Structure 1
Amino acid sequence: DKTPTQSKSSQSKSSQSKLPQAKLPQAKLAQLRASQKTDINSRPLGVYASKAMDKHLKKMVRHEAAVLKDTNIEELHQMRIGLRRLRTTIQTFETVLELPEPIQDTALKPLAKCLGRVRDLDVLLETLRDRHRPHLPSKEQKILDRILVKLQKKRDRNFKRMVQFLKGSDYKAIKQTFRVWIKNPQSNPTANLKIGLSLPDLLLPVLSQTLLHPGWLATPDRSLETVQSKATKSKEMKSKATKSKGAKSPTKDSTVSASEIGQNEISLDVLNNWLDHDGIVLHDLRKQMKQLRYQADFFAPHYDATYAKTIQDFKTIQDLLGTLQDYWVLGQIFAKVQGKTWQESLPSLTAQIHRDRWTIWQQWEPLRQRYLTEDTRTELRQMMLSPTR
C-alpha cells in the first residue's frame, strides 16, 4: 500500500502530467526552423558529402545478409536503392571529393550490374505471374508456365553469380575502402564551399543534360504511308484469323477491344511496332531522369513544397518509362527463350502488353509535351536557382 506521502506525490505528478504543455509562439517556431535551415545550408560540401555516403553505405550493407538468404525479393530492391543513392552522391560531388579507385563510380558498376540482373528478373517473374497469367486462357498459361520455368532458372544462375560477387574480395574491398575513407575524407579546396551557396551549381548541370536528351523528341512514325501500310496489314491478319477459327480471336496486332476502331487502333499498332524497334531511346532518357530525380531528392531539405512536387513529377516520368522498358526487355527475353514469333503463340498476352503500353503512352505524352515548353523549362531552372534561405 502507498503511504500518504507517496499518494500525495503521485497525485501531484498525475496532475502535472495533465497540465497542458506550453506551446512556442508561431514567431518563435519560425525562428527555430529558420536557424535549423541556416545550419543545414552552412555545412561545407565535403562534410555534407561524407555524411551522405556514410548513410547510404550503411543502408546498402544493412540489407546484405537478407539478400543472401533470398527469402524476400524486397531486400534486394532496398539494397539496390542504397547503392543507387551512394552512386548518386559520388556523381554529385565528384568534382569535390578525392576518392580511391575501388570506390569511384566506375568501380561500382559491376556491383550494380549483378544486383540489377537479379532484380530485373524478379520484377519480370512477378509481373508475369501476378498481373498477366491469371487473365490468360489455359492454353497460353501452359506456354507461359514453361517460359516461367526457364526464366526462374536464369534468375537462379544470376543469383549464384551475385552471391559469389557479394562474398568475393572485390566487394569486401569496396566496403572496407568506403569505411576507411569516411573516417578520414579526402577532398580538394572546393569542399570548403557552403552547401547553400553551391546548390544551383550542383543541380543545373544534370538538369541541362536531362532537358537536352533526344528522348523528349522521340515519338512513333506517324507518316500517312506508314499508318496506311500497318493498318492494311493489321486488318488482313485479323481477317485471316477470324476466317480460320470461325470466331474473333486475338492476334499479335489485336491490341484494343472490339468497340475501339479507326485511328486509335492504327495509332496503337504503330506505337507498339515503334516501341519494339526504336523505343530504346526512352530507356536512356529514363536513366537520365533517374539520376536527376535522385540528385534532386538529395537536396530536397533545401527547397520548398513546389520543389518536392516536382520531384514527384520526376518519379512519375521515371516509372512510366521504366514500365515501357520492362516490356521491351520482356520481348527480348521471350524472343530468346520462345523464338522471334512468340507473339503468335501468346496472342492474349501480347494484347495485354499492347494495351498496357497504350495506357502508359497516354500518360507519358502530355508530360513529354509539357517538358518541351519554354515555360516549364524556365520554371525548372528558376526553381533550382532559388533554394530556401
Structure 2
Amino acid sequence: MESMEPVASPPSLPPSVPSVDSQTVDSQTVNSQTADSQADPAQASSNLTNSNLTNSNLTNSNLANSNLANSNLIDTPLPEASPPPTTLNTTLNTLADVVQPHLLTNLKHLNKYEEAVLKGFEVEDLHDLRVTWRQLRVILQMLAPVLALSKPKLLKNLQTVTTVIGGIRDTDVLLEQSNHLRSQFLSLPEQLFLAKVTDQLTQQRAKHLKKIQKMLLATRHDRLKQHLHQALTQACDRPVIQQPAIALVPELLSPHWAALWLHPGWWVELPLPAAIDPIDPTAIEPIDHSTIRTVTAPSLAAAFHTLHDLRKAIKRVRYEITFFKALYPRPVLTAIEPLKALQGKLGDLQDTVVLMTYFDQRLKPKQKRRFTQLNALLDQQLQTQWQKLQIDRATCLDITYRTELRQWLFQPQG
C-alpha cells in the first residue's frame, strides 16, 4: 500500500495582507452597505449629514484647542536669557582688550586713594596709595615694549611719586618697632633713648605728610595723571598690542621672571647662629661688639642689600602675574603663595636692619656698648627672622615647584 504524501498547507500571509476569505467578507459587507443605501436614500442622506456635523464639531473643537494653545503661548513668559559670561574670553581678546581697561581702572583707584589720604592721612590709605602707584609703575615698565608712550619722562616721574609716598613707610615702620621695644624690659637709659627716637620719628612723619600733601595738590601732579590717562587711552594703536593676549603674555613675563630666579640673593648666607630662646634680661652679660654695630659692617651691609633687592624682584614678578591673573584657569594667587610668604619674611628682616642702622647712626660709642638689653633683643629678632625665611626660601627653590609654576604661567589658557 502506497503511503500518501502529506498535503502542504498554504503559507501564511503577513498580517498586513488580508486573506482571500477576508477580502470576500469585506466585499460582501460593502455590497450590503451599497444595497442599503440604494434601498433607503433618505437614511443615507441623514447619515451623511450627521457625519458632516460630527466632522464640523471636531474641526471647531480642534480650532478652539489651537486658539487656547496659542493663547497659552502668548500668556506664558519667555525664559530669561542667560547673562553674558563674566570671565574674559581671552582666546579672542587682544592684549589691548586686557591691558587698557585694567590700567584705566587703576587710575580711578589712585584718585580715590588720594582723596582718602588728603582727608585723614591714615596709615592704611597711605599703604593703598603707595602700593597702587608702585604696581602701576611696574606694569608700565613691563608693557614698555608694546605701549607707545609718547612721554619719555613718564616712568621717571612715576618713580619720583613712589619715592615721595614711600618715604613715610620707613618712618611708620621705625615708629612701630620703637614703640614695641619700649614695652620690653629695658634699662632706664635705653628707655630714654627710645623715647627720644620716637619723638624724632613723629616729627619726621609730620614732615613727610606735608611733602606728600604738597605733591598731591600740585598742578604738576594733576598733569601727570592726565598724561597717563591720555597715554593709556591712545597706547593701543600699535599692531603688536592687537595680537592675542595669550600669545604675548609669556613674552612679557619672561624678563623679570628670569631675573628673579637668577638673582644672587637666593644664595646669600649670613654669619648668624640659630635662633636663641627667649631672653632673660637679668642674665645678659655685657658684650663688646654689639649687634647694632655688626649689621652696619661693609660685608653684612652688602649681604642685606642683596636680600632686599631679591625681595623687590619677587614683588615685581608678583605684581606682573597678578595683573594677568584673569588669563589663567585657576587662582594665580594660590600658586605664588610661597613667593608671597618669602617676600613678607624678607621684608621683616629688612625692617629690622633699617631699625638697627637708624640706631647706629644716633648712638654714641659708649651707648652702643652699654645698651646690652637692646642689643640682645635686636639680636634675637634678627636671628629668628633669618631662620624663619629659610623654610620659604627652600620651598621656592624646589625644582618641582619652579618647574610646575613656570609651565603653568607660560601656557595661559584663558
TM over 0.5: yes
Q: Rg: which structure is higher?
A: 2
Q: Distance between the aligned counterparts of 1:176 and 1:105, measured in 2?
A: 14
Match of 2:397, SS state, is coil
Could you say if the C-alpha distance between residues 341 and 285 of structure 1 is closer, same or farther in structure 2, counting changes exceeding 3 Å? farther
Could you say if the C-alpha distance between residues 167 and 206 of structure 1 is closer, same or farther in structure 2, counting changes exceeding 3 Å? same
Match of 1:101, SS state, is coil
The equivalent position to 2:127 in structure 1, one of 77, 84, 88, is 77
Deviations 1:11-51 (A, max 9, x none): xxxxxxxxxxx9x9xxx9xxx99x65461443211232221
Could you say if the C-alpha distance between residues 291 and 277 of structure 1 is closer, same or farther in structure 2, counting changes exceeding 3 Å? closer
What percentage of residue pairs aligned between the two structures are identical? 27
**Pairing 1:157-306 to 2, within 5 Å after superposition:** 157-221=207-271, 248-249=283-284, 251=286, 275=300, 278-305=303-330
Deviations 1:71-113 (A, max 9, x none): 4111110111111221122122111111132773222111000
Residue 177 of structure 2 corresponds to residue 142 of structure 1: no
Could you say if the C-alpha distance between residues 114 and 385 of structure 1 is closer, same or farther in structure 2, counting changes exceeding 3 Å? same
CA contact (8 A) 1:150 1:337 kept: no
Aligned to 1:350: 375
Higher helix share: 1
| Alpha-carbon offset, residue 312 of structure 1 | 1.8
Aligned to 2:182: 133
Amino acid at match of 1:133: R
| Alpha-carbon offset, residue 120 of structure 1 | 1.7
Give RMSD over aligned pairs.
Answer: 3.4
Q: Distance between the aligned counterparts of 1:306 and 1:253, measured in 2?
A: 52
| Alpha-carbon offset, residue 306 of structure 1 | 6.8
Aligned to 2:104: 54
CA contact (8 A) 2:338 2:396 kept: no
| Alpha-carbon offset, residue 184 of structure 1 | 3.5
The equivalent position to 2:358 in structure 1, one of 325, 328, 333, is 333
Q: Distance between the aligned counterparts of 2:225 and 2:182, measured in 1?
A: 41
**Pairing 1:145-156 to 2, within 5 Å after superposition:** 145-156=195-206
Could you say if the C-alpha distance between residues 305 and 92 of structure 1 is closer, same or farther in structure 2, counting changes exceeding 3 Å? same
| Alpha-carbon offset, residue 158 of structure 1 | 2.4
Aligned to 2:334: 309
The equivalent position to 1:367 in structure 2, one of 389, 392, 403, is 392
Match of 1:338, SS state, is coil
TM (norm. structure 1) is 0.73
Amino acid at match of 1:127: Q
| Alpha-carbon offset, residue 316 of structure 1 | 0.8
Could you say if the C-alpha distance between residues 306 and 161 of structure 1 is closer, same or farther in structure 2, counting changes exceeding 3 Å? closer
| Alpha-carbon offset, residue 272 of structure 1 | 9.9
Q: Distance between the aligned counterparts of 2:317 and 2:198, measured in 1?
A: 35
- Structure 1 residues 300-309 or 282-291, which shifts more? 300-309
- Structure 1 residues 210-219 or 337-346, which shifts more? 337-346
Q: Distance between the aligned counterparts of 1:217 and 1:97, measured in 2?
A: 35
Q: Distance between the aligned counterparts of 1:252 and 1:326, measured in 2?
A: 24
| Alpha-carbon offset, residue 313 of structure 1 | 1.6
CA contact (8 A) 1:46 1:97 kept: no
Residue 359 of structure 2 corresponds to residue 324 of structure 1: no
Q: Distance between the aligned counterparts of 1:134 and 1:152, measured in 2?
A: 18
Could you say if the C-alpha distance between residues 272 and 113 of structure 1 is closer, same or farther in structure 2, counting changes exceeding 3 Å? closer
Match of 1:279, SS state, is helix
Amino acid at match of 1:64: E
Aligned to 2:95: 45
| Alpha-carbon offset, residue 126 of structure 1 | 2.0
TM (norm. structure 2) is 0.69
- Structure 1 residues 145-154 or 302-311, which shifts more? 302-311
Aligned to 1:96: 146
Deviations 1:247-291 (A, max 9, x none): 623656899xxxxxxxxxxxxx99997755632110000111100
Q: Distance between the aligned counterparts of 2:286 and 2:115, measured in 1?
A: 46
Match of 1:386, SS state, is coil
Aligned to 1:6: none
Could you say if the C-alpha distance between residues 253 and 370 of structure 1 is closer, same or farther in structure 2, counting changes exceeding 3 Å? farther
Q: Distance between the aligned counterparts of 1:251 and 1:173, measured in 2?
A: 58
Match of 2:374, SS state, is helix
Q: Distance between the aligned counterparts of 1:285 and 1:213, measured in 2?
A: 7
Q: Distance between the aligned counterparts of 2:154 and 2:234, measured in 1?
A: 16
Q: Which runs of 5+ in 1 are unaligned?
A: 1-21, 228-244, 256-268
CA contact (8 A) 2:186 2:374 kept: no
Deviations 1:341-388 (A, max 9, x none): 654454333323322222222221133234334333322321212323
CA contact (8 A) 2:296 2:357 kept: no
Q: Distance between the aligned counterparts of 1:54 and 1:184, measured in 2?
A: 12
| Alpha-carbon offset, residue 324 of structure 1 | 1.0
Match of 2:89, SS state, is helix
CA contact (8 A) 1:290 1:318 kept: yes
Aligned to 2:408: 383
Q: Distance between the aligned counterparts of 2:288 and 2:393, measured in 1?
A: 26
